[in-house]
Structure 1
Amino acid sequence: MLRSLLGAQKCWGLIHSRNSMKVANKHAPASFAVCKRHFSPPTHIKQSAVANESGTMAEIKQEMMKRLGLEPGYNPLPKSREQLLKYQPKLEDLSPRAMQDSFTSAIIPLSTDRTLQDKYVTYLGSVRFGRLLEDMDMFAAWCCHKHLKLPNLPEGVHLPYTFVTILVDRIDFTNVLASGTQDIRLSGHVSWVGTSSIEVVVWLEQMVAGRYQKLTRALFLMAARNATNTGAAPVNPIQPANEEEKLIWAGGADRKKTRQILCAQSVFKVEPNDPEQTLMYELYKRTTPRNTLELNKRILPPNCRWMEDSFQMSTIPSFPEHRNHHNRVFGGFLMRSALEISWAAAFLYCKTRPKLEHISDISFEKPVSVDSFIKMTAYVVYTKLNYVQIMTVADVLDTQTGSQVTTNTFYYTFSAPDTVTEVLPRSYHETMWYIQGRRKFEASMGLN
């Protein structure tokens, strides 16, 4: 389990859940109370930050383009930035920064911008969380801009840096039902840095009854690259200003170690552990006829569905409007697309509107060009009581050869009002997905 930013955990359980969830939750064992690792911005950092309001997200996008020397409009041959390489500093030239130097906030003005509302609202009037993931990704890059301070950059020279998203650490959601017509505030700051990697914590809050209520919190791991995105670039180190910042810094170092351990222990890299192998044998016995003469057959137990019949797929052509500042497909767009098809898969599986509870770690393995076809496939890989675990795989299709390369794998935990049909694997390959999905689910529930 990941340590919190302040080295503590705050368990919200399932209190304050929506009325539609009460029936399902009363059947859940006590251990299934969801431990929501959701935090407010540290008081010291928030109060000490200078000029921390950055306006609206639209204004942030314009300011980032201005700093990078980019202009509106698409050009298949983007403007060269090679002339900026000579301005990249050395690590020893960069002075330490405090965490409050990068703390900032921004508004999504849904209460006043009716045109913007149309992009964010669902047919029930709630907010599209996929849109918010796009904003959080861009806001994390903006915090990197705020952290970076280049002492020898001549006035008028554009920023000789590129920031890309490496991964998004686990995202938990509170039980506040976000509205699509009320302002949403993003806030965040840099919480840890390496030589060229930057961890940013981002909070989402919405105005409810005259005060901001917490929606979610996420950790973004960003990479600083040079002006042409061909190599790593150094960033200012962090000098913790007090004990609070020292704890936040230590948490960032711990999370880096934890990510490395979890990556090495993935079921796709090492064999399942002993309890998981026992579970695999139990699944085999449940789906194999007792008649020893029919070992080549599989049977589906009552109230179950095969995993192979429990998926949704879409193929998305990408366009320049989906690009980031560096003419690649925007990571936020990939996150939004994956979330929305995952939600659809959960909805169609449960036959009722599901609630998003948790998003597991999201990694970005390969850049995606703006002329790509992206295949999104959302599988139901694990179920427990009224919970559904979705694994969504993003593949880029080669239009010439027909081959495909996986660029992202996403894991989402949804809950339904009632107990859902159990999903079961049929092949060994699917069983590995089942085991991995079970791990992600238990981590999201705070069970390991």
Structure 2
Amino acid sequence: SQLAGNIAFLHVNDPDPVIVTASVDRIRLARRPHVELDQELSGQVTWTGTSSMEIRMEYKSEGQTWLEAFVTFVVLDRNTHKPTKIPPIVPETDAERKLFVDGAKRAAQKKALRKANQTPSPQMEDKAREMLQKATPLLTMPSLADPYAILMSQTRMQSTEIAQPQVQNLHNRIFGGFLMRKAFELAFSTAYVFGGARPIFLEVDEVSFLAPVDVG
């Protein structure tokens, strides 16, 4: 969200920083909000690394959190576009220390997953072979295959969007929140078509921004 970006800018305390959204982790809907009640959106830096920070965002209604998300930002040097150091945070309360430790664990897990994705584990390879074996009848002998089975590729949906200047960020690239909304809308439509009934949103596992998106 824009508020998460504002918090990141305030923490860096640089007159002209280059801050990019690296990922949004686990957007969780705890309960359904009542639209007739006042809503409160807040956030704070919960963990800092050398050049990255995690910001916890939460929506509250009547003192209860109904939506929670963790946003990771990376700060780059304006000239070299390489990661640069940011001010560390010092947790003071037990709650802040827990948030900091949890944030460090999430950062370590993401780093480990990036390394693991480069070299598939034996378990992943075995699972892939198993799934390929199940898919073979659908490809070679569809009349003999499980009538309730469907290939993953057959569930694919896509959309085309012309990115307009009004959704650009400070760096003249498309705002990440806009991309997330479009991705959610497409995911909702895909689930609707596949399931044959209106889906109910519960949680987003992770959103990673791999490259900036230009206007146009």
Assess same fold via TM > 0.5. yes
The runs of 4+ residues in structure 1 deviating greater than 6 Å are none
The two structures have a TM-score, normalised by structure 2, of 0.85
Q: For 2:130, which of 271, 281, 288 is the aligned residue?
A: 281
Provide the residue aligned with 1:297 in structure 2. 141
- Choose 1 or 2 for highest CA Rg: 1
> Deviation string for 1:26-50 (max 9, x for gaps)?
xxxxxxxxxxxxxxxxxxxxxxxxx
Equivalent positions of 1:311-326 (< 5 A) are 311-326=156-171
Letter in 1 for 2:183: A
C-alpha separation between the residues in 2 aligned to 1:264 and 1:179? 42
Equivalent positions of 1:194-209 (< 5 A) are 194-206=49-61
Provide the residue aligned with 1:358 in structure 2. 203
SS in structure 2 opposite 1:170? Answer: strand
Equivalent positions of 1:111-126 (< 5 A) are none
Equivalent positions of 1:157-236 (< 5 A) are 159-174=15-30, 176-180=31-35, 182-206=37-61, 211-226=62-77, 230-236=81-87
Provide the residue aligned with 1:134 in structure 2. none
Structure with more of its chain in helix, by fraction: 2
C-alpha separation between the residues in 1 aligned to 2:77 and 2:60? 33
Retained in 1: the 8 A contact 2:9–2:17?
no
SS in structure 1 opposite 2:5? Answer: helix
Retained in 2: the 8 A contact 1:162–1:229?
no
The two structures have a TM-score, normalised by structure 1, of 0.44
SS in structure 1 opposite 2:190? Answer: helix
**Where in structure 2 are there 5+ consecutive unaligned residues?**
none
**Where in structure 1 are there 5+ consecutive unaligned residues?**
1-136, 151-158, 290-294, 372-448
Letter in 2 for 1:331: G
Q: For 1:307, which of 148, 152, 160 is the aligned residue?
A: 152
The number of residue pairs the alignment matches comes to: 215
Q: After TM superposition, give the deviation of residue 321 of structure 1 in Å.
A: 1.2
Q: After TM superposition, give the deviation of residue 192 of structure 1 in Å.
A: 1.1
Retained in 1: the 8 A contact 2:135–2:151?
no
Q: After TM superposition, give the deviation of residue 255 of structure 1 in Å.
A: 1.6
% same residue: 28
Provide the residue aligned with 1:38 in structure 2. none
Q: Name the CA shift for 1:246/1:215 in 2 (closer, same or farther; >3 Å).
A: closer
Q: After TM superposition, give the deviation of residue 149 of structure 1 in Å.
A: 4.0
Retained in 2: the 8 A contact 1:162–1:228?
no
Provide the residue aligned with 2:3 in structure 1. 139
Q: After TM superposition, give the deviation of residue 204 of structure 1 in Å.
A: 1.4
Provide the residue aligned with 2:96 in structure 1. 245
Q: After TM superposition, give the deviation of residue 257 of structure 1 in Å.
A: 1.0
Retained in 2: the 8 A contact 1:171–1:360?
yes
